[in-house]
Amino acid sequence: SLPAWAVSPPSGREHSDGRRWRLSLLDSTILSNTLICTGAAIAEPLMGMADTAFVGHLGLVPLASLGPNNTAFSFIAFFGAFSLSVATTDRIATCRAQGHPEDGIRALSIALSIAIYLGAALGLLMLAFPEQVLNIIGANEEIMPMAVAFMAVRALSVPAMLIAVVAEGAYRAFLDLRTPFAVIAGSATMNIALNAFFLFGLEMGVVGAALATTLSTCAAALIFLARLHWHDRGQFEPLPSSEEDVKRAKGFMRDALLPWRAWRFPGWRNEFRIICSRCGALLLRAVLIVAVYSVAGAVAARMGTAEVAGHQVLRQLVSLQVCLTWAYMSVGQSLIANLFESGPAGKAAAVRVARRVILYGSATAGVLSAASWLARGALPAAIVSDPLALAVMQPAMVPACVMLLASANNAFEGVLLGAGDTAFAARCFVPASLTAVGMLLLALHLNGGLAAIWWALASYYSVLLLLF
């Protein structure tokens, strides 16, 4: 049977005289989950903004040293959020809708295993070759020492970062968005407090900012793992009936840590192939997203210290706001994926959900764009006080507002992902990314400044919106 929110009557007047407006259960489910998901989604931007705000008071060079680092760690965050996490949500939700909880448990175990070992490999790579990684991104000699010091500490958090995004994906499949919100809000609060203590209490500089983010990220990952293992395993009820499946369900965390022990079971191997194939289908999408923002960061770094500092601040501002529209993608995928495989009635309900998600996502994008335009002078000044950085940021606020308006594409993408049309969604990123990269290279050649970089990013989002 379908959940109550999927078959609820539409919003309307509760009484014939029209005195009271009643919000439908579907609308309230979408909006409440979106608000909760927004709180969880702002974790990475909020931690980045905390680093930026605190380090910004140390001077222009320390602030600029965060730019290449955020580009590098955004690569990992984007891979996790837009590939591994999406595949986890899709697979677990599909298994629940089809009535196969044992496959959902295996999917979670495999996703956690990938997060642990891939995260460890990437972290070790950054620890072993920090200067080479930063040179590829475009760090100049002036900021290299501080950038290397920041990366040496922040690299320790990479496995925890991927574990956290996998856990978020699992909770989205459970349609439980309150737990990620609570965990990540606590982590962000911890990050802000530690930033203040390490930077101004202990005067640790950029190393203190990196340590604050690393500790708060690891704390979030540990809490997620503890909740999944001891408290929320019941989300997969009813437990499988066979004795072997029950044993595997109870030991899913052990299988994640020691995957070679579970490899001998055919069900585990089959689920591993499914997860990897879905991650592979989403990998192109993740790589193209990262490529666009990496090229943008590299172009800013090659334009000058003021440009890279301004780009860092502006990206944090926009990323924080885009989390609001990104939440519609997450909620749309979660709700639709839990309906789409439930037969004809489920597909009809999924269409209703899709229409409401697109409506609310588009309206939110319009409000964000208008509000940012009205506050285009005050927003940058709230984070950084350096006059050179502010001077290059002001012209870039116009394309940033256009990008926010086009961020309605996230709602459309959530509908596609929830319906399982990941191949089409991934293909749409090819022309959008080529357009953006071409404009970014032209901006570098013509020395168009920070505004040219952000017009390229605005075009990237606009092409996605048109194609979706």
* 375-401 tens-digit pLDDT: 877 777 777 777 777 787 888 888 999
Question: Looking at the domain assignment, is residue 7 inside a domain?
Answer: no
Question: Looking at the domain assignment, is residue 393 inside a domain?
Answer: yes
- pLDDT in the model for residue 49: 67
Question: Looking at the domain assignment, is residue 33 inside a domain?
Answer: yes
For 174-188, b/e burial (b = at least 16 CB within 10 A) is: bbbbebbbebbbebb
Q: Is the pLDDT at 275 greater than 70, yes or no?
A: yes
Strands (E) across 349-435 are located at none
Burial of 21 (0-12, 13-18, 19+ CB in 10 A): exposed
Q: Is the pLDDT at 237 greater than 70, yes or no?
A: no
Q: Is the pLDDT at 20 greater than 60, yes or no?
A: no
Q: Is the pLDDT at 19 greater than 60, yes or no?
A: no
- pLDDT in the model for residue 317: 83
Q: Is the pLDDT at 277 greater than 90, yes or no?
A: no
Q: Is the pLDDT at 140 greater than 80, yes or no?
A: no
- DSSP single-letter state for residue 10: P
* Matching residue, tokens 């984007």: 78
- pLDDT in the model for residue 10: 62
**The two structure tokens encoding residue 6:** 């999927």
Question: Looking at the domain assignment, is residue 17 inside a domain?
Answer: no
- pLDDT in the model for residue 338: 79
- pLDDT in the model for residue 366: 93
Question: Looking at the domain assignment, is residue 244 inside a domain?
Answer: yes
Structure-model confidence comparison of residues 278 and 121, the more confident one: 121
Range in 253-257, 305-309, 396-400 the model is least confident about: 253-257
Most trustworthy range by pLDDT among 23-32, 185-194, 226-235, 396-405: 396-405
Question: Looking at the domain assignment, is residue 107 inside a domain?
Answer: yes
Q: Is the pLDDT at 175 greater than 90, yes or no?
A: no
Structure-model confidence comparison of residues 109 and 344, the more confident one: 109
Residue 238, preceding peptide bond in cis (omega within 30° of 0) = yes
* Matching residue, tokens 């959900």: 353
20 in Cβ contact with 14 (< 8 Å) = yes
pLDDT digits over 420-462, tens only? 787 788 889 999 999 999 999 998 888 888 889 989 999 999 9
Structure-model confidence comparison of residues 324 and 431, the more confident one: 431
Arithmetic mean of pLDDT over the chain? 81
Structure-model confidence comparison of residues 254 and 302, the more confident one: 302
Taking the model in full, what pTM does it have? 0.76
75 in Cβ contact with 69 (< 8 Å) = no
**The two structure tokens encoding residue 412:** 């459309």
pLDDT digits over 186-226, tens only? 888 888 888 889 888 887 888 888 898 899 999 999 999 88
Strands (E) across 95-208 are located at none
416 in Cβ contact with 410 (< 8 Å) = no
Question: Looking at the domain assignment, is residue 125 inside a domain?
Answer: yes
Task: Give me the domain span that covers residue 371.
Answer: 23-467
Range in 36-45, 288-297, 419-428 the model is least confident about: 36-45
- pLDDT in the model for residue 241: 53
Range in 124-128, 151-155, 444-448 the model is least confident about: 444-448
Most trustworthy range by pLDDT among 15-24, 296-305, 360-369: 360-369
- pLDDT in the model for residue 380: 77
88's enclosing H/E stretch is: helix 85-98
pLDDT digits over 49-67, tens only? 666 777 777 777 777 777 7
The total domain count for the chain is: 1
pLDDT band at 465 (very low <50, low <70, confident <90, very high): very high
% residues pLDDT > 90 (the chain) = 17
Question: Looking at the domain assignment, is residue 380 inside a domain?
Answer: yes
228 in Cβ contact with 163 (< 8 Å) = no
Q: Is the pLDDT at 151 greater than 80, yes or no?
A: yes
What is the per-residue DSSP string for 53-76? HHHHTT-HHHHHHHHHHHHHHHHH
